[in-house]
Amino acid sequence: MPISGLRLRRAVLGILLAARRPLTITEVIAELHAAGFTTWSLGPRPPQQVIADMLAYQVRAGRVRRTARATYAPERDKIPTTTQWRCRHWRDVPGN
């Protein structure tokens, strides 16, 4: 099932928050696929590029930090508690 937008952002942040360690983009995509989801994009962009672009924005916003090439960790103290809850429970809200 393809996801994009807010739901994709919550899914990726939820996966990073649940991991308790920095994850590579490949590991994030593997977790999405294990949950039965894939990225959806307009155009020929591969899933790695979609996730990388989304995480680059999150780095600029201060919610995620880049620990190594293509490896990211959440900045838990910069993400509000309610947002963390929504991200951890991204699978529970259909269509969100």
Residue at 22 is within a domain: yes
Tell me the C-alpha distance between 32 and 16, whole Å.
Answer: 11
Q: Has residue 94 got a pLDDT over 70?
A: no
Query: Quick check: pTM over 0.85?
Result: yes
The predicted-structure confidence for 39-82, as pLDDT tens digits, reads as follows 876 678 888 999 999 999 999 999 999 999 999 999 999 999 99
Q: How many domains does the chain have?
A: 1
**Is residue 55 in some structural domain?**
yes
Instruction: Answer whether residue 96 is part of any domain.
Output: no
Q: Mind listing the pLDDT tens digit for each residue in 1-47?
A: 888 889 999 999 999 999 989 999 999 999 999 999 988 766 788 88
Greatest pairwise CA separation for the chain in angstroms: 35
Helix axes 5-19, 47-61, angle to 10 degrees: 80
